[in-house]
């Protein structure tokens, strides 16, 4: 079990009643998200309170009424799984940093520098976020935030969010081993095997990955691949 001074409150309101337990913030979140972890590593104690600050325990009758059991392990797990967990500032900072890394990766993948049509390096994107004083919401997904953030950093970084539709022709002798690479980098909208065995495919791909894909295909085909950008959006 964890030390009391590192514990936060997990709380469940049900049937008009309040139930609280003391838990390790990060490990409780892990358990809530489905990770296999021992309850002994998550809770300070298996005592269930109706008000932790006042030291008031939940009655056995209330526990039986709401949880249909008085078995503390089952009750504690349900409170963690279905209730709210108080987040420490340290854990919020960790979530925010993880979300920032995800957003930087998305911007790197999906956007380009319109002056040279190449993706910005991640470090340059991170510097633009700091310069623009962009606030990352740790509770929103990276996908929900990325377009708005790109608009905010445009003032300090030339950038364009872009998806490209690219036509790719791969000679027959390289088509088989190159096909998995196409699937890895984007969505294959159309693939046609030509009479000579070559592959003609249309791929939708984040603009920031275009150069990386072209380099990969050139390496696989010894420079014999043909590519053409059909549309951008």
| Final residue before a domain boundary, out of 161, 181, 205 | 161
Query: What angle do helix axes 122-131 and 89-110 make, rounded to 10 degrees?
Result: 120
What domain range includes position 178? 163-232
CATH, residue 40: 3.30.1250.10
Most confident stretch, 33-37, 115-119, 216-220: 216-220
Does the pLDDT at position 4 exceed 80? no
**3-class DSSP state of 82:** helix
Q: Which of 95, 108, 106 is nearest to 136 (CA)?
A: 95
In whole angstroms, how large is the CA radius of gyration of the chain?
26
> What is the Cα–Cα distance from 72 to 87, expressed in whole angstroms?
23
**3-class DSSP state of 6:** helix
Q: Give tens-digit pLDDT for 126-157.
A: 999 999 999 999 888 898 999 899 999 999 99
> What would the two tokens of residue 189 be?
């909208």
11 phi, psi to nearest 5 deg: -135, 140
| Final residue before a domain boundary, out of 50, 85, 120 | 85
| Residue 81 shares a structural domain with residue 9 | yes
| Residue 34 shares a structural domain with residue 102 | no
Q: Give tens-digit pLDDT for 70-87.
A: 999 999 999 999 999 999
| Residue 108 shares a structural domain with residue 67 | no
Note the pTM of the prediction, 2 decimals: 0.69
| Final residue before a domain boundary, out of 137, 161, 185 | 161
pLDDT average, residue stretch 173-195: 95
Q: Where are the alpha helices (DSSP H) in the chain?
A: 25-32, 60-67, 72-82, 89-110, 122-131, 142-153, 172-185, 210-221
Buried b or exposed e, range 76-93, using 16+ CB within 10 angstroms:
bbbbbeebebebeeebee
Confidence (pLDDT) at 110: 86
> What is the Cα–Cα distance from 229 to 27, expressed in whole angstroms?
48
Number of domains in the chain: 3
Does the pLDDT at position 69 exceed 80? yes
> What is the Cα–Cα distance from 37 to 17, expressed in whole angstroms?
27
């Amino acid at each position: 079990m964890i030390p009391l001074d590192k514990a936060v409150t997990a709380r469940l309101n049900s049937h008009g009643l309040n139930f609280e337990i003391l838990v390790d913030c990060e490990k409780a979140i892990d358990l809530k998200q489905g990770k296999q972890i021992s309850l002994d590593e998550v809770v300070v104690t298996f005592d269930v309170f109706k008000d932790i600050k006042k030291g008031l325990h939940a009655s056995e009758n209330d526990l039986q009424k709401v949880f249909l059991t008085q078995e503390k392990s089952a009750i504690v797990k349900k409170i963690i799984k279905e209730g709210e967990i108080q987040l420490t500032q340290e854990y919020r900072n960790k979530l925010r940093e993880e979300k920032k890394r995800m957003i930087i990766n998305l911007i790197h993948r999906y956007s380009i520098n319109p002056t040279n049509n190449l993706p910005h390096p991640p470090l340059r994107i991170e510097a633009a976020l700091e310069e623009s004083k962009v606030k990352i919401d740790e509770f929103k997904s990276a996908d929900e935030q990325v377009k708005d953030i790109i608009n905010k950093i445009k003032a300090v970084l030339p950038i364009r969010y872009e998806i490209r539709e690219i036509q790719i022709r791969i000679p027959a002798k390289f088509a088989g081993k190159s096909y998995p690479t196409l699937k890895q980098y984007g969505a294959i909208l159309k693939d046609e095997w030509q009479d000579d065995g070559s592959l003609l495919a249309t791929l939708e791909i984040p603009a920031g990955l275009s150069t990386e894909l072209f380099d990969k295909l050139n390496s696989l085909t010894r420079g014999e691949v043909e590519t053409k950008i059909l549309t951008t959006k």
